[in-house]
Chain A
Amino acid sequence: EAGVAQSPRYKIIEKRQSVAFWCNPISGHATLYWYQQILGQGPKLLIQFQNNGVVDDSQLPKDRFSAERLKGVDSTLKIQPAKLEDSAVYLCASSLPGLQETQYFGPGTRLLVL
């Protein structure tokens, strides 16, 4: 079974630039999550989708972050404009529909904002 795919794996940008990350979940997984993992910390949920609808985006900085999952499969996360404090690993995870289902993580995108 193929796992969660993410691209790019690494990205270096300057502050105030924009960046986009892409995620392809495990086939059949209706629920998709984007997490931010700052060095030395646990993953922090940014947004959760159920199919193409948003379930929870309470911790998404909406003034600069946006995410979409138009067809209920792939998802993109965008940052515009980026700040130095956005430097982190952005992890995508997916799970079967339902509460408290196991989440499977992608390899992450490591972002460095200079």
Chain B
Amino acid sequence: GENVEQHPSTLSVQEGDSAVIKCTYSDSASNYFPWYKQELGKRPQLIIDIRSNVGEKKDQRIAVTLNKTAKHFSLHITETQPEDSAVYFCAAADSWGKFQFGAGTQVVVTP
């Protein structure tokens, strides 16, 4: 089955700097890659996703890149703000539509 590894587990950045989180997956048939943000005690919320027919997708300060050959994808947050502090999860959906989540990255943005 699919295996997703996520790095780093914690990330501390100064407000205004960029944050990058990387995930690798094992199943070459996976073709949908969502990213979720989870604030403390709240539900995971989708922030951006990418499908395998696209290499990059951007939404304001958030972007995701996908390298199918290397089987990795990354989340980029630019001009970080304190409200970006949360746990971020990547996921990969296999050909059956089953999601495998990464272990999460705790992002802390310090003013």
Q: Give the interface of A toward B (CB within 8 A).
A: 4, 33, 40-45, 48, 56, 91, 98-108
Contact = CB atoms under 8 A, between A and B. Distances in A.
A56 B98 contact: yes
Contacts of A42: 4, 6, 89, 91, 101-104
Contacts of B95: 99
B78 interface: no
B43 A101 contact: no
A27 B93 CA distance: 23
Interface residues of B, number: 26
A99 to B, nearest CB: 4
Nearest to A100: B32
Contacts of A33: 99
Contact of B43 (A45, A99, A108): A108
A41 B43 contact: no
B68 interface: no
B16 interface: no
A51 B98 CA distance: 16
- A contact patch SS: loop
Given A105-B44, A107-B43, 7 more contacts: A40-B104, A42-B6, A42-B101, A43-B89, A45-B99, A56-B96, A99-B95
A67 B32 CA distance: 27
B44 A91 contact: yes
B28 interface: no
Interface in B24-59: 31-32, 34, 36, 42-46, 49, 51
Contact of A100 (B4, B36, B89, B97): B97
A7 B23 CA distance: 32
B34 A102 contact: yes
Contacts of A41: 103-104
B99 A103 contact: yes
B94 to A, nearest CB: 9
Residue of A4, A44, A48, A99 with highest tally of chain B CB at under 10 A: A99
